[in-house]
């Protein structure tokens, strides 16, 4: 069975084609704002302009004919409304013209499922950290349960926002990481963990207010240390309170070497295994959508062609049919 997946929840327009065993092709055409953060309307216009060509190029790269595609999957949410609708509209058109089923996929769950597919993680505590989302999850009784989550913004948005405030271009996350490597003074910033939840917006305000007195490198080092320690603390507690003994990192912030290192060390101390997919599959990508749609369809699911997007679609809303 061959599935084509479309991802366009925010900045990255991406198409993936997979079968049960392999990724046959995946290609992206990201929207990169000239200044400031991502404006949903501008991003969606970029995606609508590029989507037809990107689908054709990905089919070509996979070395298949479009008639060989058995299933269309698209990111149904969470994400920016105008961006989500680009993928939904293209998917409906493909489903109708090729006369194949369509499945709307939860974007967060797709990040998790591709991680379980390409690593050896079976039943991990999941650290899902991206731009808009930050959640610690685990699987139980047919649902991905959210153990803890951000009370305000995602870790990636916090790094991007702080980056913008100190003059870095979007996305700030990777540039903060680069500067942090040259930092060594740990500057006092608010460490906010409440039970299993955490909050990042106060850290951004505090770090920004110190930008005149302190070196950029030290502020970048400190903001990473604080944010990643908070996430590691909650992940450790999730391991302690469950009978799980694996940790899987996913989402764009997972590309950061320092969060990988912290989670790896904590997992080792705990006698648990730590897993992280390669960078291409950590950020938003169409292959994760195609793979999750395929698993859902093989377990008997399909949507009707008018399946709607869901801007605030939570992973714990989804009844999981494809796992034991
Ligand atoms: P979601 O809808 O899941 O929130 P997203 O639209 O935020 O996804 P992702 O590709 O999952 O997209 O994540 C993008 C985020 O990852 C951005 O905030 C970016 O700054 C951050 N990021 C990317 N690389 C790094 C890095 N090396 N260090 C820290 N953050 C990073
Ligand atoms: Fe994402």
Q: Which domains does the chain possess? A: 3-111+284-317 (3.30.420.40), 121-276 (3.30.420.40)
**pLDDT of amino acid 33:** 86
State ipTM.
Answer: 0.97
Q: Which atom of ligand 1 is nearest to the CA of 257?
A: 27
pLDDT score for 324? 79
| CA 38 – ligand 1 centroid, Å | 12
Span from the CA of 158 to the centroid of ligand 1 (angstroms): 10
Other CB atoms within 10 A of residue 259 CB? 23
User: Which is the closest atom of ligand 1 to the Cα of 172?
Assistant: 20
Query: Cα(290)–Cα(27) distance, rounded to whole angstroms?
Result: 12
CA distances, 176 to each of 179, 199, 276 (Å) = 5, 19, 21
Closest residue (by CA) to atom 13 of ligand 1? Answer: 252
Mean pLDDT by 10 residues, the chain (324 residues): 97 97 98 87 97 98 98 98 98 98 98 98 98 97 98 98 95 97 98 98 98 98 98 98 96 98 97 97 97 98 96 98 92
- What single-letter DSSP state applies at residue 273? E
Residue 96 has what pLDDT? 98
pLDDT of residue 37: 80
Q: How far apart are CA 207 and CA 223, in angstroms?
A: 7
Q: Cβ distance 112 to 160 under 8 Å?
A: no
Instruction: State the chain's maximal CA–CA distance in angstroms.
Output: 62
H-helix or E-strand containing 17?
A: strand 12-18
Nearest Cα residue to atom 20 of ligand 1: 173
Q: What CA–CA distance (Å, rounded) separates 288 from 106?
A: 10
What is the pLDDT at residue 290? 98
Strands 134-140 and 143-149 come out as antiparallel
């Amino acid at each position: 069975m061959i599935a084509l997946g479309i991802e366009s929840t925010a900045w990255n327009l991406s198409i993936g084609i997979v079968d049960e065993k392999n990724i046959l092709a995946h290609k992206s055409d990201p929207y990169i704002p000239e200044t400031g953060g991502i404006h949903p309307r501008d991003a969606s216009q970029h995606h609508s302009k590029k989507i037809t060509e990107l689908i054709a190029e990905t089919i070509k790269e996979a070395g298949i004919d479009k008639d060989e595609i058995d299933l269309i999957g698209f990111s149904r949410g969470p994400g920016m409304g105008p961006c989500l609708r680009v993928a939904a509209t293209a998917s409906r058109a493909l489903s109708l013209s090729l006369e194949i089923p369509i499945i709307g996929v939860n974007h967060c769950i797709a990040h998790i499922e591709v991680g379980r597919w390409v690593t050896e993680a079976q039943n991990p505590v999941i650290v899902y950290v991206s731009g808009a989302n930050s959640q610690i999850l685990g699987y139980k009784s047919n649902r991905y349960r959210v153990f803890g989550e951000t009370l305000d913004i995602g870790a990636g948005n916090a790094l991007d926002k702080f980056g913008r405030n100190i003059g870095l271009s979007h996305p700030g996350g990777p540039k903060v990481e680069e500067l942090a490597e040259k930092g060594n003074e740990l500057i006092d910033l608010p460490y906010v963990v409440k039970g299993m939840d955490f909050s990042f917006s106060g850290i951004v305000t505090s770090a920004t207010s110190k930008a005149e007195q302190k070196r950029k490198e030290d502020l970048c080092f400190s903001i990473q240390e604080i944010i990643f320690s908070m996430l590691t603390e909650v992940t450790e507690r999730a391991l302690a309170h469950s009978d799980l003994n694996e940790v899987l990192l996913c989402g764009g912030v997972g590309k950061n070497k320092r969060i990988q290192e912290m989670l790896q060390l904590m997992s080792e101390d705990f006698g648990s295994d730590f897993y992280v997919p390669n960078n291409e599959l950590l950020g938003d990508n169409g292959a994760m959508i195609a793979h999750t749609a395929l698993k859902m369809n093989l377990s008997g699911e399909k949507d009707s062609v008018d399946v709607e997007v869901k801007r605030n679609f939570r992973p714990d809303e989804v009844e999981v049919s494809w796992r034991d």
